[in-house]
């Protein structure tokens, strides 16, 4: 009787997996400010109000030069948004933040007010990984926040497996690495060995501010300020931590699995 009632209850609930990316993305919480937009042309001459409030030195402004905002270092605390008198830095509410090149995360110069979102892998790699991608996750000294949001993708609501993307236990069974954490000195050798154990060709994804640039630990002598100082990185997903939707968007963008009419809708 118990099994019968459970099955009836489950059937009444229907499919709980979200329609995205074929449908609209799920709504984000109000407190999620999304990606930032930086327009250095709005900066007042000599104004550096945003520089000292940034906890990770993600904002710089040298004399005679434009303000620069590094979303790779950013922890999205929005302190710079609150303090800027000219609204040169604003929150966009856009969950899409993944890029292919580290320099694309630096905003501020004319023409670079917003992110240049990631393009997909080349045709050869898309044919190889596009339908089935196995990733070995490496937690390289992080706080477990990025790992927690990544785990959400395995729940019934998100169902990462429907895209053929899975996390595996061994690097020898993987197509690439999914790295979180700032790569502490204690994890440096482990990351190198894990990377070497993944068969060629392989891809590497750096997820979160720590894995991209060291996050709140940037400059500490016991970390490497991000994964790309140890291994080559093919995709950067900013955030502290990135929202599961930001992570999923980055993965699907890399594999060219997005329908742009839906992915362009910011929550």
Q: Closest by alpha carbon to 154, among 130, 170, 178?
A: 178
Q: What angle do CA 178, 181, 187 make, to 5 degrees?
A: 90
DSSP state of 155: S
Q: Is 245 helix (H, G, I), strand (E, B) or coil?
A: helix
- Mean pLDDT over residues 25-34, rounded? 89
Mean pLDDT of the chain: 89
Structural domains in the chain plus CATH codes? 123-262 (3.40.50.12280)
Q: How far apart are the first and last CA of the chain?
A: 43
Q: Which residues contact 103 (CB under 8 A, 6 or more apart)?
A: none
The C-alpha atoms of residue 229 and residue 221 are separated, in whole angstroms, by 14
| 83 pLDDT above the threshold of 70 | yes
Give pTM, 2 decimals. Answer: 0.90
The C-alpha atoms of residue 55 and residue 99 are separated, in whole angstroms, by 23
Ranges of H-type helices in the chain: 2-13, 79-83, 123-129, 145-152, 185-197, 208-213, 244-254, 260-263
Peptide bond into 241 cis (omega under 30): yes
The C-alpha atoms of residue 188 and residue 191 are separated, in whole angstroms, by 5
Instruction: Compute the chain's Rg from CA coordinates.
Output: 20
Q: What is the per-residue pLDDT across 206-264, written as a single tens digit (0 to 9) for each?
A: 999 999 999 888 888 999 988 999 999 999 999 999 999 999 999 999 999 886 544 44
């Amino acid at each position: 009787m118990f099994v019968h009632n459970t099955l009836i209850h489950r059937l009444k609930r229907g499919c709980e997996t979200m329609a995205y990316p074929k449908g609209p993305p799920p709504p984000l919480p109000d407190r999620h400010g999304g990606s930032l937009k930086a327009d250095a042309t709005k900066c007042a001459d000599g104004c550096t109000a945003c520089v000292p409030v940034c906890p990770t030195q993600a904002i710089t402004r040298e004399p005679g030069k434009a303000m620069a905002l590094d979303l790779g270092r950013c922890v999205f605390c929005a302190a710079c948004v609150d303090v800027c008198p000219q609204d040169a830095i604003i929150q966009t509410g856009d969950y899409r933040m993944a890029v292919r090149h580290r320099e694309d995360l630096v905003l501020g110069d004319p023409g670079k007010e917003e992110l240049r979102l990631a393009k997909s892998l080349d045709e050869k790699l898309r044919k190889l990984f596009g339908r089935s991608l196995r990733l070995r996750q490496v937690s390289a000294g992080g706080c477990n926040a990025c790992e927690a949001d990544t785990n959400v993708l395995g729940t019934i609501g998100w169902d990462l497996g429907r895209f053929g993307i899975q996390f595996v236990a061994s690097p020898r069974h993987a197509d690439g690495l999914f790295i979180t954490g700032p790569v502490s000195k204690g994890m440096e050798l482990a990351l190198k060995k894990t990377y070497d154990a993944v068969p060629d060709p392989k891809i590497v994804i750096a997820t979160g501010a720590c894995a991209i640039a060291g996050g709140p630990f940037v400059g500490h002598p016991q970390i490497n300020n991000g994964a790309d100082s140890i291994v080559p990185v093919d995709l950067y997903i900013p955030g502290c931590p990135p929202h599961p939707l930001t992570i999923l968007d980055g993965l699907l963008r890399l594999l060219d699995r997005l329908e742009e009419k839906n992915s362009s809708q910011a929550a």
